[in-house]
Amino acid sequence: MDIGKRFDKVADRYDTSDKIERSKSFVQDLLKILPINKSFKVLDIGAGTGNVDVFLSPYVKEIVALDLSEGMLDVFRKKIKDKGIKNIRIYKKDLFSEDLQEKDFDLIITSMTFHHLDNPEESLKHLKKYLKKGGYIAVIDLYKEDGTFHSDNTDVKHFGFDEKDIEKWLETSGLEKVDYRIVYSIKKEREGKIREYPVFLIIAIKK
């Protein structure tokens, strides 16, 4: 079963108050760090049910949101319809195997997607093509962990990432780091104990 169909199965119960709050926090961090304004055109890779984009949409001109799961995107479409949001366009598309004609984005965001990618370094190089000069990419994902974060590691290609690895990939991709920080920790019960899994945000610019 491909990853899109796996997320289809959980789409109607994917959103939790914790996930929504983390998405809001991500957007607040972006607004603090970057000069986001109403001229910004944003590309979201792995948009899921769209929580990040819903929070970000009032501050930018337009968001193009991509995901592989039709079920997740159905939830997303209902959200923007119910909220009357007009500046988000949603597509079921894999940017790493299909091209997107639109280029020159001011910002590319991807949240909790990179640990599902076979080759994050090559993915960064690919994403760079869609950024305008002076545009930003923001990646939020798990810090290096021991493989216990997911109860089922099917479709999980990496158990988080070390800061130095990401920085090296940015450098080889021709991107320059702007900011790196641990933004929150996700708590999960594992073997009768509460474990904390740090999540990082790294932002880079295309010079």
Residues 8-54: pLDDT tens digits?
Answer: 665 566 667 888 999 999 999 999 999 999 999 999 999 999 999 99
pLDDT at 1 over 60: no
**pLDDT value, residue 96:** 76
pLDDT tens for each residue of 48-81: 999 999 999 999 999 999 998 999 999 999 999 9
Is pLDDT larger for residue 185 or for residue 13?
Answer: 185
Domain that holds residue 122: 3-206
pLDDT at 97 over 80: no
pLDDT at 186 over 70: yes
Q: Which two tokens stand for residue 171?
A: 């450098």
* Contact residues for 44 (Cβ-Cβ < 8 A; gap 6+): 52, 53, 63, 64, 65, 66, 108, 109, 110, 111
Contact 52, 27 (CB under 8 A): yes
The CA-based angle 4-26-114, given to 5 degrees, is 40
**pLDDT value, residue 13:** 67
pLDDT tens for each residue of 138-160: 999 888 777 677 656 567 677 77
Spatial distance between the Cα atoms of 136 and 6, rounded to a whole number of angstroms: 30
List the CATH number of the domain containing 165: 3.40.50.150
Residue 184 CA neighbour count, 13 Å, CB half: 14
Contact 53, 26 (CB under 8 A): no
Residues composing the chain: 207
pLDDT tens for each residue of 3-14: 656 566 655 666
pLDDT at 121 over 90: no
Q: Quote the number of domains for the chain.
A: 1
Which H or E run includes 186?
A: strand 175-190
Q: Which two tokens stand for residue 175?
A: 């991107």
Please spell the DSSP secondary structure of 121-148, one letter per residue.
HHHHHHHHTTEEEEEEEEEEEEBS--S-
